[in-house]
Amino acid sequence: MKKFVLLLVLVASVAWGVEVTGVGGLNYQSWDDGNGNVGSGVGLHAGLLGSIGITPSCLPVYVGLETGFLYQNANYTWEDAGFNNVNLYISLHNVVIPILLKGNFKPTKKLSIGAALGPSIIIHSSGSWEYDVGVIQFEDEFDSENLATDLGFQIKGDLGIKIVPMLWLKPSITLQLNGNPDNPFNQDERVGAETAFLFSLGLALKI
């Protein structure tokens, strides 16, 4: 009976397609505060994503669901923030949980092209800020009580290149939109709009 169950699980995994991907890369983000001031910067991200097909993966075109988590460091710099010679720097540490509907096209056995979209949960776990007023610096950590969770939206494209059986190289680019970002200085305030591009390289195990 156990052998039958294991065989059934294996057959289902192959038929519907199960994929686990470790990813890492750079992200570029910008934050428009709604008053014409735009802060931007470069950070890093890394995490683990998993997907499963909801249509048979043996088809040349199939649909699946993808989720997981990414740790993201997002940095922003506002130069002349409100006054000349006053610069503001913000660094946020986020946990991003995407929930994506994904389509895959396999033109050959060694190549796949994917596109996905859906919401993402952006959890601000910690962060810090720095004001530079001329040669004087003020800096501190954000109060964790002021860091609220945001709901974003992702659009993603990736390319799968087969290295060996079951192991694929997966470069990808993701656009993440956050139309109502939390103000980390104020618990009850949301300010402007944020746009982030995540440039990732992944290694995927396909079953």
Q: Please report whether residue 3 resides in a domain.
A: no
β-bridge mates for residue 177, sequence order: 153, 195
Per-residue tokens: 44: 């890093």
**Where would I find the beta strands (DSSP E) of 14-165?**
18-32, 38-53, 61-78, 86-108, 111-133, 136-141, 150-164
Residue-wise pLDDT for 120-148, tens only, equals 999 999 999 998 887 788 889 999 888 99
Going by DSSP bridges, is the β-strand pair 150-164/86-108 parallel, antiparallel, or unpaired? Answer: unpaired
- On whether residue 7 sits in a domain, the answer given is no
DSSP structure class, residue 16 = H
pLDDT of residue 8: 37
The kind and range of the H/E element at 170 are strand 167-178
- From residue 129, give the alpha-carbon distance in Å to each of 10, 97, 139, 142, 176: 50, 24, 6, 7, 23
In-domain check, residue 186: yes
Model confidence pTM above 0.85 = yes
Which CATH number covers residue 124? 2.40.160.20
Asked whether residue 144 is domain-assigned, the answer is yes
Residue 107: pLDDT above 70?
A: yes
Residue 14 pLDDT exceeds 80:
no
Determine the Cα–Cα distance for residues 206 and 52; give it in Å rounded to an integer: 10
At 87, the amino acid letter reads N
The distance from CA 55 to its chain's CA centroid, rounded to whole angstroms, is 24
CA–CA separation, 71 and 119 (whole Å)? 16
Q: What is the pLDDT of residue 171?
A: 98
Identify the pLDDT of residue 138: 87
Question: Do the beta carbons of residue 129 and residue 97 sit within 8 Å?
Answer: no
Grouping H, G, I as helix, E, B as strand and the rest as coil, residue 14 is helix
Within a domain: residue 10? no
The residue behind tokens 């470790």 is 22
Q: 56-104, pLDDT tens digit by residue?
A: 877 888 999 999 999 999 999 988 665 567 788 999 999 999 999 999 9
Query: Encoding tokens for residue 93?
Result: 């540490």
- Per the structure, the complete domain to which residue 109 belongs is given by 15-206
6 within some domain: no
- Tell which wins on pLDDT, 11 or 52: 52
pLDDT tens profile 145-197? 889 999 999 999 999 999 999 999 999 999 999 999 999 998 788 989 999 99
* CB 25 within 8 Å of CB 45: yes
Q: How many domains does the chain have?
A: 1
